[in-house]
């Protein structure tokens, strides 16, 4: 049996994509104008540079690719220009809500991204666990909020994690321009701050997806639950739970024991069990074969079970919730998740919620590979937030093209869109004289970096 592919894209559709970028950017121009500075042109060029770059981007490469710009103007735009990034992020959230927002099937997602860095001068950099490298390394950590509705996804908010030692170091704060009102907050607190901000901005969503690091935190889960929102949180395989709520009491003081009498409650009776051990104890009738999502090549199906459990929280039973256990057909790994979804939540709904975590992982791949999320050479607080904000704006544009062109090409991918832009977007024709000037600018930048490095070493 033959099969037909829906593909009605034409040259005019490709040409219109540039008009869409101009139209999108036109709605944001007011954010890049102040009483003393207009950087509208540079903001457009910065997005162009991101979308035209094929490898690891930087200001020199952007200037080489984008017509009518230079390294210095782009560097000033991202590092020193005083435009406020927060209204741009709010605007992005409004646009995403309008494009793909859905109160039932839309989802917020909390995750982080680590950026390996050399030296000690870039804001918030220190030796800390770097998920990108799988070990402790010198890096910055950004906490992000993503949004998806089915395969359509993007990032909508960001926070830079400022380690406590940085928050207390006034000299380094001043050098990197960390605002005086910025105080130390844990990554979990930053995540919760973004969730509340999205809710304040009326971003519509049916649940919140949380990765394993944040999912293990009972405080964040409780905050979400207390505010009447639903979550599905990845947890580790060695997470402890009870199948029935144990009794708790304050132990009696042992006869002849020294010191204070016990004051803290402890659970009594049955010991808690690891979720991975619980999986092996389930009956066959507790498992169901469910559809998770489509991929470019095939459908993903899983064996899924759901059980009511009481998680161990500081040695005591937490509130009863769902434990979802998922074994995908094409993988050997098992996924464990907690959810506070209502008792009458269908298995199909759990499958939809569980599978949505995949899309935020793809979103970070999009950000890095398509929009230059990890490609920056800035050291200041403002520079980091400016770069990330422009990355999110570039990703919004890609989402718009995916929606428009996807109607005519059902198997269109984000990478396809990137390749389209690389072909049709105007590129700078570099003359021999301009090439020499660009090389000179890079030499000056290297000399400046070397002098700065020597000053730090003294």
pTM of this prediction exceeds 0.75? yes
The Cβ-side half-sphere exposure at 196, using a 13 Å CA radius, reads: 11
Most confident segment among 4-8, 29-33, 292-296: 29-33
Alpha helices in 53-186 (DSSP H): 59-65, 71-79, 85-100, 164-167, 170-176
Q: With beta carbons less than 8 A apart as the criterion, state whether 204 and 100 touch.
A: no
Q: What are phi and psi of 30, to 5 degrees?
A: -60, -25
Structure-derived torsion over alpha carbons of residues 46, 47, 52, 58, reported in degrees to the nearest 10: 40
Over residues 121-165, the pLDDT tens digits come to 899 999 999 988 889 999 999 999 999 999 999 999 999 999 999
> Residue 439: pLDDT above 80?
no
Q: With beta carbons less than 8 A apart as the criterion, state whether 328 and 229 touch.
A: no
- The whole-number pLDDT of residue 434 equals 65
pLDDT band at 120 (very low <50, low <70, confident <90, very high): confident
Over residues 67-101, the pLDDT tens digits come to 888 888 899 999 999 999 999 999 999 999 999 99
Q: Which residues contact 60 (CB under 8 A, 6 or more apart)?
A: 71, 438, 441, 442, 445
Q: Which residues contact 33 (CB under 8 A, 6 or more apart)?
A: 39, 40
Return the percentage of the chain with pLDDT > 90, whole number: 66
Q: With beta carbons less than 8 A apart as the criterion, state whether 164 and 123 touch.
A: no
The sign of the CA dihedral 410, 415, 419, 422 is positive
In this prediction, residues 317-330 reach a mean pLDDT of 94
Average pLDDT, the chain: 90
DSSP string, 225-252: HHTT--EEEEE-TT-EEESSPPPEEPPP
pLDDT band at 1 (very low <50, low <70, confident <90, very high): very low
């Amino acid at each position: 049996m033959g099969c037909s592919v829906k593909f009605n894209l034409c040259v005019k559709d490709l040409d219109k994509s540039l008009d869409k970028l101009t139209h999108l950017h036109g709605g944001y121009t007011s954010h890049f104008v102040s009483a003393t500075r207009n950087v509208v042109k540079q903001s457009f060029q910065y997005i162009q540079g991101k979308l035209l770059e094929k490898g690891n981007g930087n200001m020199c490469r952007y200037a080489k690719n984008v017509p009518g710009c230079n390294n210095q103007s782009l560097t000033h735009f991202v590092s020193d220009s005083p435009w406020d990034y927060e209204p741009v992020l709010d605007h992005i959230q409004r646009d995403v809500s309008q494009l793909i927002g859905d109160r039932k099937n839309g989802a917020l997602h909390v995750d982080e991204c680590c950026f390996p860095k050399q030296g000690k001068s870039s804001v918030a950099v220190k030796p800390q666990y770097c998920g990108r490298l799988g070990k402790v390394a010198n890096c910055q950590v950004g906490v992000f909020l993503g949004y998806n509705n089915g395969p359509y996804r993007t990032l909508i908010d960001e926070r830079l994690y400022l380690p406590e030692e940085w928050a207390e170091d006034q000299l380094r704060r001043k050098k990197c321009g960390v605002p005086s009102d910025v105080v130390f907050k844990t990554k979990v607190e930053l995540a919760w701050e973004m969730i509340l901000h999205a809710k304040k901005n009326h971003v519509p969503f049916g649940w919140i997806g949380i990765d394993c690091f944040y999912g293990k935190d009972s405080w964040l889960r409780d905050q979400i639950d207390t505010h009447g929102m639903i979550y599905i949180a990845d947890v580790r395989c060695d997470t402890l739970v009870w199948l029935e709520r144990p009794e708790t009491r304050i132990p009696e003081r042992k006869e002849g024991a020294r010191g204070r009498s016990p004051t803290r409650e402890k659970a009594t009776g049955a010991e808690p069990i690891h979720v991975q051990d619980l999986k092996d104890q389930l009956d066959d009738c507790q498992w169901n074969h469910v559809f998770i999502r489509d991929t470019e090549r095939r459908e993903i199906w899983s064996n899924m079970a759901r059980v009511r459990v009481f998680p161990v929280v500081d040695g005591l039973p937490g509130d009863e919730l769902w434990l979802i256990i998922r074994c995908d057909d094409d993988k050997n790994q098992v996924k464990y998740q907690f959810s506070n979804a209502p008792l009458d939540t269908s298995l199909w709904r759990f499958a939809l919620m569980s599978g949505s975590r995949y899309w935020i992982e793809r979103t970070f791949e999009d950000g890095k590979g398509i929009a230059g999320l990890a490609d920056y050479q800035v050291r200041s607080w403002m520079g980091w937030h400016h770069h990330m904000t422009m990355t999110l704006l570039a990703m919004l544009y890609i989402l718009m093209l995916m929606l428009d062109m996807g109607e005519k090409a059902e198997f269109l991918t984000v990478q396809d869109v990137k390749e389209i832009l690389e072909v049709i977007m105007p590129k700078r024709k570099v003359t021999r004289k301009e090439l020499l000037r660009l090389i000179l600018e890079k030499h000056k930048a290297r000399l400046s970096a070397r002098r700065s490095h020597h000053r730090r070493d003294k």
